[in-house]
Structure 1
Amino acid sequence: MKTKIGVIFGGISREREVSFAGGRTVYDNLDKSLFEPIPIFIDSFGNLVLLNWEFVYKGSIRDFYPASSDLPKSPHAFQVYAESLGDLDSREQMTLIEKIGSRLDPSRLKELIDIAFLCLHGCDGEDGRIQGLLEFYRIPYTGSGINASTIGIDKVLQKDLMSKMGFEVPANHSIERERWLDRTAHSEIFQELKKKVEFPLVVKSSKQGSSIGVSVLRDDNEEKFIEAVDQSFFIKHLKKEDWIDLSHSQKVLFVKDLCDIREGIGVPIKLGSRMIYHPEELLSILMQVFAESEEEILIEAVHGESAVLFESFISGKEFSCIVVEDDKGVAIALPPTEIRKGAEVFDYRSKYLPGLSRKITPIDVDQKKLDSIRQACENLYKQLNFDVYARIDGFIKDDGTVFLNDPNTTSGMLPSSFFFHQAAEVGLNPTQFLTYIIVTSIRARIADMNEYGSLTKLLLKVERQIEENSGSETSKKKIAVLMGGYSSERHISVESGRNIFEKLASSEKYLPIPIFLTDNENTHELYTIPVNVLLKDNADDIKEKIDHYKVHDVINEIISKASDITSKYGSKESLKAPQKISYNDLKGMVDFVFIAMHGRPGEDGAVQSELENVGLPYNGSNPGTSEITIDKFRTNEILMENGFQAASHILVHKDDWLKDQNVSIERIESHFKYPFICKPVD
């Protein structure tokens, strides 16, 4: 019987979308030969919901909860979460939940799951509360225990403890919310701060993650200081003169941004004695308030922040390091990743949107500095009594000084996260790494929950199944996952290929083999690639690694130190150097090819023809159909010839456009009225 894993995700925090996306990644990547994933969604009201599986694959929480039929009309098209429906009673909440699954009483969890895989972020997820609830019901869970989680959520407490433990800590200062709400104290607080922390400095919400509520102050400017602290406390002082200067569309945009849970202060909102749940309601009240006698108002998030931390801005290379532990509890820092970002702060957008930052693993420093980073991270992991794994961020200065920053008891679990990226460097694909996390977490709970009987049996069961499955790869159907290419869509192809690889890697039937295609329309070069290359940022990074493949000395050292982990959960082939192969070679390696390519040569019939030439089956249409559908003009012509409705169109050739643009424009304008759509033919 498979072990039932309750994937707990969502939540009430500002990071709920990161949690939802991470939960989906875990749900997909759990080894289906060992585990049965059970999706348990926590909604905006803190309800546990046994989620119908189809909702796991929605793009965001707002795409399915609350259902569109339950949303109030919004003339300004504000997008909202369930809390914007108001202070709903239990029956009303149940009505919402029944459309996506069934409500769970916490006391029933033990009947449904064997262990909880926590993908929650922020309050009620990383602060020890969910851990305490699960321990009360004697349910094991992943990651650190209650005490470490309490420390991991609180940046002010962390700084105090780290300083007392002898770690390098930047100059810092903190203030409490109640003092800040006394506006007459702002100048005094600013003067106090300047005596303790020099500019530039960083302003942070004490208990937020994903860089929410973070800003940098470069200058001695009290007005900007007040604005930054308000942002970190999730409050807004709004003056009548500023409001009335806005156009109507600007007022709508202001309210939209203010109610955003990541960039603004979120909802519900307190405005004096009034509680406001919906952006439309806020917009209406602001119109009314400033039409009367009010000159300035205070808008506060109900879910605000209790303290704000100030610390010196550190100039140096920024890194993030995942720390794990072996069977004996020895901490092992994985290769730290350097974060190269476009913005001053590695903010929410930089962390979770592709292309806004780059990851360099290991960080580009000499061996001595690398060792210093890893040793500091391992020491902090032990000093704070973390369990199973942690993500520790920091900076290293040119002189080698290491500043550790924001130790986290959990990590983002999106496919591109540090969590999977660094595990891949030592040879573990996402499915293998998640199996390691589960087994190590059961072992940790045996120690701190004093639940030796049932948990020991669970541990022995899972480890026995892992051992039994260790030779099963030979019986699985081998699937080449073909990605890359040379078109402008090659990066999207890599994302698709990784997604397919990870889903197949977690299956009971298939063994995926990642194949990268490059070069040009005349020549296809195929390469087998190891998992650490597969998880690089984009297609160009993968190509660069293929051309200059080398395993860094520190990674070899970590692989050796973590051999108990990699030998048990990994594969000998996982870090094999890229190899150039032919289509004939591919025929001898796999049973089937999954084409995960976009644009040429994956959608134009070229790859399909090559595969047919060597007798390899593949997904999708045949070469002839692919050759037609890559060409939008030809496709539309065929549709119209066969009686289908299609948009009127003309084809403008590049040579004609370059020869005389005016002639081409005249031809276009004689055929179409504005507006019209212009798109590449393929």
Structure 2
Amino acid sequence: MRIGIFFGGPSREREISFAGGKTAFEYLDKTLFEPVPVFVDSFGRFILLEKELMYSGEIRDFYPASNAYDGFKTYIESHPGLAGEPVPSETGTLLSPPDFKNHFDFAFLAMHGPDCEDGAIQGLLEWYRIPYSGPGIMGSAVGIDKILQNDMIELVNNQQKKSWTLRYDQWIPREYPILFQVLKKHLGLPLVIKAPHQGSSIGVAIVKDDSLEEFVAAVNQCFFQIELEGSTWKSFDYAQKQAWGQKIANLDEGIGFPVVFSSKTIYHPADLIKDLDAYFSKESEVAVISSLNAEDQVLIEEFINGQEFSCGCIQFDDGKPLALPPSEVVKMVQVFDFNAKYKPGASRKRIPVDTSLEKNQEIQQVIAEVFQQLGINVCVRIDGFLTEDGTILLHDPNTIPGMSPTSFIFKQMAEIGLNVTQALTYLIRQSVRERIRTGKNTWQLRGLLADLDKKINAHQSIEKPSKLIVFESTDEQYAAARMQYGRLNAEGKSVPVPVLHSEDGKYYKLTNPLMFKEYVADVENLVRAERHPLLTETSQKAAALTAFYAGNVSYKVDIYSDVNALEAVL
């Protein structure tokens, strides 16, 4: 089956999308699927990408093809004149939606944010009868709107979480102080400010101190707006202005281009700098700069003290939910923004949450209920808090979870016995099953599903040779072993057997879940520990699903005195 891997898109999360697209491209089961990279640019064009470009560091490394203008590194939306230009042949080939079916049979969506996770691309694909991964139109529409999510989750589980929705027309400078006082009175400090249609911790700010200046900056950040003081701008030298302009263009820390300033749309940082120079030469005091794709309202919530967790939920073939083991997020920084979220060492993850078995089971239960009642299918990741008094508060259903090889969803699916390659096969297969339920193109999709099932079963019946991956107890060797493990699983020609040569001199044949930890020290601890009962219970519930995608799976760590003894058993 040809799998069109859609990544990029116009959203601020496009680089996270690129990372997910790389995962699908590299880890799809090559005995079942042919990956076809489809890059979606900021103008909404679909480009059949040259495959070697999938190994670029970031999108701006290959698109636009010539990315240099006045010393700035920009995305293509900073060059609107290129919208009507042909795509360079070294980049790829422009596709129109009616031609999709000539190039791929299924669309794997690794895109995030508005237009990508809100039902827009899903609706386009349904119109052209292309099955796609993840939830359908309704689940996607709910999953993109944090304000609507809060209301709907409250209807499902009666949770009580204080919040306030601030419209842009209510954000009036002279009223900043009184608004801050009202919010402090009703919600307390700290305040959590969120842009309602963003993900990856973009457009999230926490106001910790009783500071009006901090509050104003946080709300503007989530409206994707900047209030720039004239005195600040005049204090900048040339290099500082250039650095400021580049920061605005960087989607992980700026508001992105195009921007609106003095009722004018500006596409490039060099042009914005020129206009600001002219503006402040007239003794103006404040410049208000807004993203062209600014939010029209922001969500303001009370700060929740408690253990933060993230829990995935998938489906059985009959559509019933299976909540995966929840992961606790142990933050090592005060503010968990975009950079902290994707910075090594900014957090630790443990599975399951450090609480009782019963409370972990309760988390799974409420996750499964919300999954069903919000009209989501195939897969979702829902975040939440477990407070000191045992209350479970949920937020932010994520219908296209981040998909780096060590993302939450893959770590949690590993606990039921699926490696990344098998998890991707599940996402494709179950998505086809859910698209059948829409009543569109039904018999063709049934045929596609039957053909895929036949190939999966045939693939499972082939006996493959084992291949040892022996590594020493260092983080560097563990990371290399994980990469080799993933590549061999994707090739499908052998069964990789990871073996840790431990600090105690023994050799441990590792289970699949142990290849999804962050540090080798975590593995060292777990090979000597009893498996948590929640992990055992969840894997038993998933046994039939796991057997279909992965065959017989063992969760027992075997110990050997030397490699020869291990090889003799294999």
Alignment of 1:296-307 (within 5 A): 296-307=286-297
Structure 1 Cα separation of the partners of residues 343 and 213 of structure 2: 31
Structure 1 Cα separation of the partners of residues 439 and 110 of structure 2: 20
Structure 1 Cα separation of the partners of residues 568 and 78 of structure 2: 58
Alignment of 1:530-541 (within 5 A): 530-541=511-522
Alpha carbons 1:388, 1:437 under 8 Å: kept: yes
Distance change >3 Å, CA 413–CA 89, structure 1 → 2 = closer
Partner of 1:528: 509
Normalised to the residue count of structure 1, the TM-score between the two structures is 0.80
Aligned pair partner of 1:57 in 47, 55, 63: 55
Aligned pair partner of 2:412 in 388, 397, 422: 422
Alignment of 1:587-606 (within 5 A): 587-588=567-568
Structure (1 or 2) with the larger CA radius of gyration: 1
Partner of 2:387: 397
Partner of 1:338: 328
Partner of 1:116: 107
Distance change >3 Å, CA 483–CA 303, structure 1 → 2 = farther
Aligned pair partner of 1:73 in 62, 69, 75: 69
Give the share of equivalent positions with the same residue, in percent: 39
Structure 1 Cα separation of the partners of residues 167 and 93 of structure 2: 40
Pairwise CA distance, 1:332: 1.1
Aligned pair 1:179/2:170, yes or no? yes
Aligned pair partner of 1:40 in 24, 27, 38: 38
Distance change >3 Å, CA 581–CA 445, structure 1 → 2 = farther
Aligned pair 1:482/2:473, yes or no? no
Pairwise CA distance, 1:99: 2.5
Alpha carbons 1:549, 1:577 under 8 Å: kept: no
Partner of 1:223: 213
Q: 1:124-167 CA distances to partner (integer Å, 9 max, x unpaired)?
A: 11100000000101111111110111110000111122223343
Pairwise CA distance, 1:288: 3.2
Alpha carbons 2:165, 2:300 under 8 Å: kept: yes
Q: 1:94-143 CA distances to partner (integer Å, 9 max, x unpaired)?
A: 244x3311010011112222211111110111100000000101111111
Structure 1 Cα separation of the partners of residues 330 and 282 of structure 2: 49
Aligned pair 1:150/2:141, yes or no? yes
SS in 2 for 1:415: coil
Distance change >3 Å, CA 349–CA 578, structure 1 → 2 = farther
SS in 2 for 1:565: helix
Partner of 2:263: 273
Partner of 1:85: 79
Aligned pair partner of 2:565 in 585, 606, 628: 585
Structure 1 Cα separation of the partners of residues 472 and 376 of structure 2: 39
Q: 1:152-201 CA distances to partner (integer Å, 9 max, x unpaired)?
A: 00001111222233431310001122332x43443443344344322222
Structure 2 Cα separation of the partners of residues 87 and 159 of structure 1: 41
SS in 1 for 2:82: coil
* Counterpart residue type for residue 508 of structure 1: G
Number of residue-to-residue matches in the alignment: 570
Partner of 1:616: none
Structure 2 Cα separation of the partners of residues 231 and 89 of structure 1: 28
Pairwise CA distance, 1:348: 1.9
Partner of 2:2: 4
Could you tell which deviates more after superposition, 128-137 or 34-43? 34-43
Pairwise CA distance, 1:309: 0.2
Pairwise CA distance, 1:497: 1.7
Pairwise CA distance, 1:47: 0.8
Structure 1 Cα separation of the partners of residues 311 and 388 of structure 2: 19
SS in 1 for 2:402: coil
Partner of 1:543: 524
Partner of 1:636: none
* Counterpart residue type for residue 125 of structure 1: C
Partner of 2:198: 208
CA RMSD of aligned residues (A): 1.9
Pairwise CA distance, 1:64: 1.2
Aligned pair 1:459/2:459, yes or no? no
Pairwise CA distance, 1:562: 1.4
SS in 2 for 1:393: strand
Pairwise CA distance, 1:585: 2.8
Structure 2 Cα separation of the partners of residues 319 and 11 of structure 1: 28
Could you tell which deviates more after superposition, 39-48 or 157-166? 157-166
Partner of 2:486: 502
Structure 2 Cα separation of the partners of residues 22 and 581 of structure 1: 39
Structure 2 Cα separation of the partners of residues 124 and 174 of structure 1: 22
Structure 2 Cα separation of the partners of residues 60 and 588 of structure 1: 45
SS in 2 for 1:125: coil
- Gaps of at least 5 residues in structure 1 are 591-682
Partner of 2:18: 20
Structure 1 Cα separation of the partners of residues 213 and 347 of structure 2: 30
Pairwise CA distance, 1:26: 1.1
